[in-house]
Amino acid sequence: MTVIDRSLAENVGVTYTGRRRSLVSATGHKLEGEVAIVRELVVEDEVLDYEKVMVVELSGEVRKVLRDVGVDDSVIVGLTTVELAGLMPDTATGRLKKVETFLF
């Protein structure tokens, strides 16, 4: 699930579902927030309509970690979002690559 900072959620406008979630990031940070729907989410030029996101108050520590690795400090794109966009991480290049979606 993609995580967005509350200030970004307020700027783009989201619809809250009334559900709360918590998760632990790959860096070990615990995040708690509200599930919401964003009208449109664009990942590497792929447009996802009505995508679920988790709205949180990202701490200064988490924001710093994101900035230190050279990414936006208000969004953490989740793997399920990446898959829905028909993309997958390429560990050789550190980038996302387009793949044909399949079901098994």
φ and ψ of 81, to 5 deg: -65, -45
Asked whether residue 21 is domain-assigned, the answer is yes
Judge whether 104 lies within some domain. Answer: no
Residue 49 lies in a domain: yes
Confidence at residue 104, expressed as pLDDT on a 0 to 100 scale: 64
Q: pTM higher than 0.75 for the full model?
A: yes
Q: What is the pLDDT of residues 33-73, one digit of tens each?
A: 999 999 999 998 999 999 999 999 998 988 998 899 899 99
Establish if 85 belongs to a structural domain. Answer: yes
Predicted local confidence at residue 20, as pLDDT: 97
Flag whether 79 is in a domain.
yes
Chain mean pLDDT for the chain = 90
Supply the pLDDT for residue 101. Answer: 74
Q: Which domain holds residue 93?
A: 2-98
Sheet order of strands, 14-24 included: 14-24, 30-43, 46-56, 2-5, 75-76
Please give the backbone phi and psi of residue 29, each rounded to the nearest 5 degrees, phi first.
-80, 130
For residues 8-26, average pLDDT: 93
**pLDDT for 24:** 87
Asked if the structure places residue 8 within a domain, the reply is yes
Domain count, the chain: 1
Confirm whether 70 is domain-assigned. yes
Written as six digits, the tokens of 89 are 């991480």
